[in-house]
Amino acid sequence: MPEAETRQFAPSAQRNRDPILAVLREALPASGLVLEIASGSGEHAVHFAAALPGLSFQPSDPNAGARASIDAWAKEAALPNLLPALPLDASTPGWPLARADAVICINMIHISPWAATQGLISESARLLPPGGPLYLYGPYRQSDVPLVPSNVAFDESLRSRDPRWGLRELDEVAALAAAAGFGPPEVTTMPANNLSVVFRKR
């Protein structure tokens, strides 16, 4: 299949990549390896690698079609700091890396079973050095903020597709992270009722 046909396109990635990049510029280290979990189409990985040449980006996804898309985007971009996509399921322990300087995960937690969030946090805690960031992006429930109608509808839609999916309580994610050795969440409000959440390894 030609590379252009292998590439997938996520309209949301085009909309949110620059607001996310602005947060990543502050949250990520100046150099090192950034592991992206659930990279999807690969558009984020290409955009971030192009914008942050001091960092190496390791995309990953459990889906073979997504990995083919990631690698097709990477081939077209020809960036020296963008590595081939790894097969990686967040919920399966024993990720195929020994370390990472940062971990990023965009729009996965609400579209996956809770076991994927548990694996994401426990494995990130294993890989990251002290101070290393785990960056999460997506919609969340917050105990002190009413859920906007669009996110109520989105949550209902997700749960109708798979009862194991749905918007997570940020407090529950933070408690899981704290138990794994992360500090409190650094939260940035993002467009379209999403949040950027950074946990740093203690």
How many angstroms separate the first and last alpha carbons of the chain? 46
Given a cut of 80, is residue 188 above it in pLDDT?
yes
Write out pLDDT tens, residues 25-57.
Answer: 999 999 999 999 999 999 999 999 999 999 999
Given a cut of 80, is residue 3 above it in pLDDT?
no
- The identity of residue 111, as a single letter, is I
CB 73, CB 46: distance < 8 Å: yes
Write out pLDDT tens, residues 101-113.
Answer: 999 999 999 999 9
How many CA atoms, within 13 angstroms, populate the side-chain half-sphere of residue 59?
29
Write out pLDDT tens, residues 128-167.
Answer: 999 999 999 999 999 999 999 999 999 999 999 999 999 9
Quote the Cα angle for 136-85-106, to 5°: 15
Given a cut of 60, is residue 87 above it in pLDDT?
yes
Question: What is the pLDDT averaged over residues 79-90?
Answer: 98
Q: What is the pLDDT of residue 56?
A: 98
Q: Please tell me the pTM assigned to this model.
A: 0.97
Which DSSP string do the residues of the chain spell out, in sequence order?
A: --HHHH----HHHHHHHHHHHHHHHHHS-SSEEEEEES-TTSHHHHHHHHH-TTEEEE-EES-HHHHHHHHHHHHHHT-TTBPPPEE--TTSSS-S-S--SEEEEES-GGGS-HHHHHHHHHHHHHHPPTT-EEEEEE-EEBTTBPPPHHHHHHHHHHHHH-TT-SPEEHHHHHHHHHHTTB---EEEEEGGGEEEEEEEB-
What's the full length of the chain, in residues? 202
Q: What is the pLDDT of residue 5?
A: 76
Q: How far, rounded to the nearest angstrom, does the alpha carbon of residue 48 sit from its chain's CA centroid?
A: 12
Domains of the chain by residue range: 3-139+169-200
pLDDT exceeding 90 applies to what percent of the chain? 98
C-alpha dist (Å) from residue 159 to 77, 120, 150, 195: 36, 21, 14, 20
Closest CA to 198 of 113, 98, 128: 128
Given a cut of 60, is residue 174 above it in pLDDT?
yes
Given a cut of 60, is residue 2 above it in pLDDT?
no
Instruction: Identify the architecture of domain 3-139+169-200 in CATH.
Output: 3-Layer(aba) Sandwich (3.40)
Lowest mean pLDDT among 3-7, 11-15, 62-66, 118-122: 3-7
Mean pLDDT for all residues in the chain: 97
